[in-house]
Amino acid sequence: MNVVVLGPAGSGKSLLTCRFGGYLLKEDYSVKFLNLDPGCLDVPYHCDFDIRERFTVEKIMAKEGLGPNGAVLRAMDMLSETKIPQLDGDFVLFDTPGQLEVFAFRSSGPKIIDQLSDPIGIFIIDATIGANDLPSAYLYSLAISYRLGIDTLRVVNKVDLLNKQERERVSKILHNPKILEKKVKTMGVLADIYLPMLKILGKVIPAQRIPLISAKTEEGFGELLTILHEVKCVCGDLT
Ligand SMILES: Nc1nc2c(ncn2[C@@H]2O[C@H](COP(=O)(O)OP(=O)(O)O)[C@@H](O)[C@H]2O)c(=O)[nH]1
Ligand SMILES: [Mg+2]
């Protein structure tokens, strides 16, 4: 199964790749790890393929006299021309570039995803964004999945950083996003857009299982594995 780990910078893509891969190995699956982030200094797992052996953002900066943003753009264009090796494994995990928006909204993301057979995305929502902003993170995940053309399940990561009340609030909103209605109403003219959107999310989000996980403590990994199996092995339905 080709699993592409997606999420904003710092949401925990690399740590989740490392720890969830380790968890799968302990469960006796064969696992391959691929790092597609040319900008990272280090990854916490042993790579079976590492894009940094071909190019890095740092070297591009030095060689082409570019600043960090220019070099990231250049690196993403180079990534789009890269042939990804086809590796065998029960789970082939792809850790993606730190700057998700550059990966997704330039050609590299869609071109990489196109090379993978039957991929599934795991989109990380960082729990520290706060419960009230879960809908915005969810909408962002939809935009990314749409752009990349990949079926994606969502996880809320870093729940170890939430206290009991915050965790309950996250669970509550995932079960019923419409409880945010009062907050949205205070947002002025854009409420005309947000309110109908919240109604749709109120139907869509509770129908999905969005596990609360921690890449640090490995909480929720069992549930994540179950969902992956259900999505890819049984019915292809994300609910
Ligand atoms: N407490 C906590 N920290 C996490 C978790 N997942 C990632 N981190 C930390 O968040 C930071 C960014 O993680 P990283 O995997 O590099 O994010 P990436 O940019 O998405 O690859 C690192 O300091 C991680 O140790 C988690 O579940 N809990
Ligand atoms: Mg990373």
Q: Under a CB-based contact definition with an 8 Å cutoff, are residues 237 and 208 in contact?
A: no
Nearest alpha-carbon partner for 35 in 58, 59, 11, 16: 16
Instruction: Indicate the residue type of 218.
Output: E
Number of helices and strands (H, E) in the chain? 10, 6
- For position 129, what pLDDT does the model report? 94
Taking CA atoms, 46 is separated from 42, 100, 115, 132, in Å, by: 10, 22, 22, 37
Residue whose CA is at the smallest distance from ligand 1 atom 25: 15
Distance CA 71, CA 154 (A): 30
Would you state the pLDDT for residue 195? 86
For the CA of 9, the nearest ligand: 1
Name the closest-CA residue to atom 9, ligand 1: 12
Residue-level pLDDT, tens digit, the chain, 239 residues = 999 999 999 999 999 999 999 999 999 999 999 999 999 999 999 999 999 999 999 999 999 999 999 999 999 999 999 999 999 999 999 999 989 999 999 999 999 999 999 999 999 999 999 998 899 999 999 999 999 999 999 999 999 999 999 999 999 999 988 888 887 777 778 888 888 888 899 988 988 999 999 999 999 999 999 999 998 875 545 55
**What is the CB < 6 Å shell around ligand 1?**
7, 9-15, 98, 157-158, 160-161, 214-216
User: What is the value of pTM for the model shown?
Assistant: 0.93
Q: What's the pLDDT score for residue 206?
A: 86
- Per-residue pLDDT at 189: 82
The closest residue, in CA terms, to atom 8 on ligand 1 is: 12
User: For residue 6, how far is its CA from the centre of ligand 2 (angstroms)?
Assistant: 10
Q: How many CB atoms lie within 10 A of CB 239?
A: 11
Question: Which ligand has its closest atom nearest to the C-alpha of 215?
Answer: 1
Minimum CA distance residue for ligand 1 atom 28? 158
Question: Residue 51 C-alpha to ligand 2 middle, in angstroms?
Answer: 13
158 CA → ligand 2 middle, Å: 15
Q: Using the mean position of ligand 1's atoms as its centre, give its distance from the Cα of residue 79 in Å.
A: 23
Beta strand pairing call for 2-6 and 31-35: unpaired
**Cβ proximity of 227 and 220 under 8 Å:** no
**What does the pLDDT read at residue 186?**
74
- Please identify, by atom number, the ligand 1 atom nearest to the C-alpha of residue 18: 15
Residue 234: what pLDDT? 54
Domains of the chain: 2-170+208-234 (3.40.50.300)
- Give me 105's structure tokens: 């909204």
pLDDT value, residue 178: 86
